[in-house]
Amino acid sequence: MSLFTLWMIVINTTFWLVCCFGTAWVVHKLLPSSIYEKMKWLFKERSFEKSFYRMIHLVKWKDKLPEWGKVWSFEKNHLKQELSLEYVNRFILETYRAEIGHIGMAVLGFACVLVNPRDSAQMAMICSIVNVVVQIPFCLIQRFNRPRLVRLKARLEDRNHL
């Protein structure tokens, strides 16, 4: 293996680590929670989504993908134990953050073309497209979970008002 190839491996590995972990960090640590209220249109459930999720059998595979809530001090597995309005609100916020984070990773991944030599642009573009494909299931899981959580939140609010 040439020194150039080794150097390109280091550069690309660093790029993808910074792209993915950096985006997640920015979304969780730098973006204020209030920004998601201004983006409600993006998070709104679309009419075709439920049937699409059934078609792709999302329920069967969604829990098999890696989940990083622990890194950001949030455990989605606590829903059954901590059924409180505060917990459900935090869970909904985490779905916003995760969806924006994965969209950001998908878009920023195209900068891979910029860190590679021109003669490797095709390879970098393929990597960027593969990255988009990898990010899509994570966005779908957030979009699947959020309406259910919003309905749960409404039921908890109704119960608290009684």
Give the pLDDT band of residue 102 (cuts 50, 70, 90). very high
Residue 52 is part of which domain span? 3-161
What are the angstrom distances between the C-alpha of 73 and each of 66, 69, 145? 15, 6, 19
- What would the two tokens of residue 106 be? 């998908």
Q: Quick one: 71 exposed, middle or buried, by C-beta within 10 A (0-12, 13-18, 19+)?
A: exposed
pLDDT digits (tens, 9 = 90+) for 63-99: 999 887 777 778 776 666 768 899 999 999 999 999 9
pLDDT digits (tens, 9 = 90+) for 30-39: 999 999 989 9
| Domain count for the chain | 1
